[in-house]
Amino acid sequence: MVSRVIPVETFDLVIFGGTGDLARRKILPGLFRRFLSGQMPPEARIIGAARSELDTAGYREMIAEAVAEFGGAETNNTKGLQAFLERLDYVAIDARGEGGWAALAELVRSDVVQAYYFSVAPALFGDLAERLHKHGIASAQSRIVVEKPFGRDLESARDLNRTLAAHFDESQIYRIDHYLGKETVQNLMAVRFGNVLFEPLWNNHYVDHIQITVAETVGVGGRGAYYDKSGAMRDMVQNHLMQLLCLIAMEPPGQFEADAVRDEKLKVIRALQPVENHHIVRGQYDAGKDGPSYRDDVENARSFTESFIAMRVHINNWRWAGVPFYLRTGKRMKARSSEIAVVFKDLGHTIFEGDEARHRNILSIRLQPNEGMDLQVTIKEPGPGGMRLIDVPLDMTFADALGAEAEDVTDAYERLIMDVIRGNQTLFMRGDEVEAAWRWTDPLIDGWEARNDVPKLYDAGSAGPEDALMLMHRDGRKWREIKG
Ligand code: NAD
């Protein structure tokens, strides 16, 4: 019982930065899967465009290797891979030079959907946008896809928005946040707005608090120089965690349509209260048995950048008044795990004599590992011996309910690229949303920078600094366990 695959329209997708890490690891292996599934029509074409002096044969070879390295089980399908590679072309282009553009103009067809994926540093977005027009390649129907980071503060995000707006209409711009492409994130909307059960309880009368955790086991890896100028707030909270928060907290949109959904998300961001200093805990990982400290990783012995952040956030509106949202994200944590947990309030009164345990319904939405949801409910412990209550999860893992094929959950990038071709912007961030998110985060970052705030050290492989535990503890609450 798996969804039907409906082919998208024929397209030409130009990937600027087509030889880069993201293109090789995610975009092209993902497109290969969509090709095998029949969703990418056989006449569609993918054109890699980057600085490397490759020809099409060399590019196909590079992508065959990338698919072998980063693809899944489908890489065994050699006939399929051959057919896919034949859909690839390559043009050597420098975003800041004039060479290669005429060749690209020759290749791109004007009678199919045109999409341009800017998988390059944001500093090149303006050059690409300008040259696509100057060389008469892009049209009013073309779409552009841009990657994170979308700015490093409000001012730079505004500049980027202005640069893109000089050449493209907002309806042509697809700002990727790959968290929005995850199956479970969309399922969150289906569960909220497709059932009678949850929405009546989705407010401050019934919800005690909400926790959002995105924990990674990896450190900063080879991205040290970039990360040290960014930190967890800019790299994770301003985009991914904020998007999850919006989806969980937003009002039901009038319809499941791009601007209706994005209007509601924007209202959530605008309703966020400024966060008090004592509701923010910044951390930095120390050396552990599996690796060096953050400061060694980024080669900056005096770095004050956070690799972990936990915060308590409030939304100023009728639905959520008084309900804390606890956000937490970090690197080199004990397990790779992303979860949203909606923790409902305690029962006002228990009728079961001798039952002193605190039973709570918790809806847990797992993004990784094992995308799925479960609802903790209280039942009678089976067997004789009186009425003892225990809490058990009602498991809503997709694979159990929908059959084994549902385990093959489409990767976020694949889904989002197909949405670009379909012209569906629902799961992409609008310019005003991104700016509103920076407007909220900027003063927080400015605050700790002005105070020279030193992040608390935490052991690599732990759940973060002690102060983060205390943040919850002081409120009489507990973080959910980080489980891989
Ligand atoms: P990368 O450094 O591996 O690749 C950069 C690509 O850009 C290469 O193909 C290179 O040839 C091309 N390039 C560089 N300068 C150019 C120029 N002047 N003209 C034309 N092409 C040029 O980078 P990446 O990791 O693939 O990241 C690309 C973008 O995606 C960045 O904005 C990054 O922040 C973002 N991103 C990457 C990841 C990831 O997992 N790698 C995740 C999220 C966002």
Contacts of 148-152 spanning 24+ positions with Cβ under 8 A: 148/175, 148/176, 148/177, 148/239, 149/122, 149/230, 149/234, 149/235, 149/239, 150/122, 150/175, 150/239, 150/429, 150/434, 151/122, 151/434, 151/438, 152/229, 152/230, 152/234
User: Mean pLDDT lowest for which of 46-55, 214-223, 259-268, 345-354?
Assistant: 345-354
Phi-psi region of 391 (alpha: psi -120 to 50; beta: other; left: phi over 0): beta
> pTM of the predicted model, to two decimals?
0.94
**Ligand 1 contacts CB of residue 126 (under 6 A):** no
> Could you tell me the distance, in angstroms and rounded to a whole number, from the CA of residue 93 to the centre of ligand 1?
14
Residue having the nearest C-alpha atom to atom 15 of ligand 1: 51
pLDDT-derived band at 187 (thresholds 50, 70, 90) equals confident
CB atoms within 10 A of CB 226: 13
Residue having the nearest C-alpha atom to atom 41 of ligand 1: 22
Report the pLDDT averaged over residues 266-281.
97
- Residue 290 clears pLDDT 80, i.e. is over it: no
Outline where 217-257 has alpha helix (H): 224-228, 231-232, 242-249
> Could you tell me the distance, in angstroms and rounded to a whole number, from the CA of residue 291 to the centre of ligand 1?
27
> Could you tell me the distance, in angstroms and rounded to a whole number, from the CA of residue 303 to the centre of ligand 1?
25
**Ligand 1 contacts CB of residue 391 (under 6 A):** no
Residue-wise pLDDT tens digits, 118-127: 999 999 999 9
pLDDT-derived band at 405 (thresholds 50, 70, 90) equals low
Tell me how far apart the terminal alpha carbons of the chain are, to the nearest angstrom.
Answer: 28
Residue having the nearest C-alpha atom to atom 2 of ligand 1: 20
Distance (Å, rounded) from C-alpha 474 to C-alpha 143? 49
Round the average pLDDT of the chain to a whole number and report it.
93
Distance (Å, rounded) from C-alpha 443 to C-alpha 194? 37
Compute CA 413 distance to the chain's CA centroid, rounded to the nearest angstrom: 10
The residue with greater pLDDT, 369 or 143, is 143
User: How confident is the model at residue 456, as a pLDDT?
Assistant: 98
Helix or strand run (H / E) with residue 116: strand 113-118
> Could you tell me the distance, in angstroms and rounded to a whole number, from the CA of residue 38 to the centre of ligand 1?
28
pLDDT-derived band at 183 (thresholds 50, 70, 90) equals confident
Mutate to test the pocket of ligand 1, among 98, 120, 174 (most ligand atoms within 8 A of CB): 120
User: How confident is the model at residue 146, as a pLDDT?
Assistant: 97
- Residue 406 clears pLDDT 60, i.e. is over it: no
- Residue 392 clears pLDDT 60, i.e. is over it: yes
pLDDT-derived band at 352 (thresholds 50, 70, 90) equals confident
Distance (Å, rounded) from C-alpha 249 to C-alpha 427? 16
- Residue 169 clears pLDDT 70, i.e. is over it: yes
pLDDT-derived band at 409 (thresholds 50, 70, 90) equals low
**Ligand 1 contacts CB of residue 327 (under 6 A):** no
Mutate to test the pocket of ligand 1, among 14, 16, 19, 22 (most ligand atoms within 8 A of CB): 22
Distance (Å, rounded) from C-alpha 253 to C-alpha 7? 28
User: How confident is the model at residue 293, as a pLDDT?
Assistant: 95
Report the pLDDT averaged over residues 182-191.
88
User: How confident is the model at residue 266, as a pLDDT?
Assistant: 98
Mutate to test the pocket of ligand 1, among 21, 101, 144, 156 (most ligand atoms within 8 A of CB): 21
Report the pLDDT averaged over residues 290-319.
96
> Could you tell me the distance, in angstroms and rounded to a whole number, from the CA of residue 45 to the centre of ligand 1?
21
**Ligand 1 contacts CB of residue 50 (under 6 A):** yes
Report the pLDDT averaged over residues 443-449.
97
Q: Percent of the chain scored above 90 by pLDDT?
A: 82
User: How confident is the model at residue 210, as a pLDDT?
Assistant: 98
Mutate to test the pocket of ligand 1, among 27, 91, 119, 235 (most ligand atoms within 8 A of CB): 119
- Residue 80 clears pLDDT 90, i.e. is over it: yes
Q: Percent of the chain scored above 70 by pLDDT?
A: 96
**Ligand 1 contacts CB of residue 19 (under 6 A):** yes
User: How confident is the model at residue 408, as a pLDDT?
Assistant: 56
Report the pLDDT averaged over residues 15-32.
96
**Ligand 1 contacts CB of residue 147 (under 6 A):** yes
Report the pLDDT averaged over residues 296-300.
95
User: Mean pLDDT lowest for which of 70-84, 102-116, 153-167, 239-253?
Assistant: 70-84
- Residue 3 clears pLDDT 70, i.e. is over it: no
- Residue 331 clears pLDDT 80, i.e. is over it: yes
Residue-wise pLDDT tens digits, 452-477: 999 999 999 999 999 999 999 999 99
Number of the ligand 1 atom closest to the C-alpha atom of 16? 21
Q: What are phi and psi of 66, to 5 degrees?
A: -65, -40
pLDDT-derived band at 71 (thresholds 50, 70, 90) equals confident
**Ligand 1 contacts CB of residue 22 (under 6 A):** yes
Q: Under a CB-based contact definition with an 8 Å cutoff, are residues 162 and 129 in contact?
A: no
- Residue 389 clears pLDDT 70, i.e. is over it: yes
User: How confident is the model at residue 399, as a pLDDT?
Assistant: 60
Strands 389-395 and 456-459, bridge-based pairing: unpaired
**Ligand 1 contacts CB of residue 98 (under 6 A):** no
- Indicate if 205 belongs to the active site: no
**Ligand 1 contacts CB of residue 469 (under 6 A):** no
> Could you tell me the distance, in angstroms and rounded to a whole number, from the CA of residue 340 to the centre of ligand 1?
30
User: How confident is the model at residue 382, as a pLDDT?
Assistant: 87
Residue among 240, 279, 314, 359 flagged as catalytic:
240
**Ligand 1 contacts CB of residue 100 (under 6 A):** no
Distance (Å, rounded) from C-alpha 118 to C-alpha 103? 18
User: How confident is the model at residue 137, as a pLDDT?
Assistant: 96
**Ligand 1 contacts CB of residue 124 (under 6 A):** yes
- Residue 385 clears pLDDT 80, i.e. is over it: no
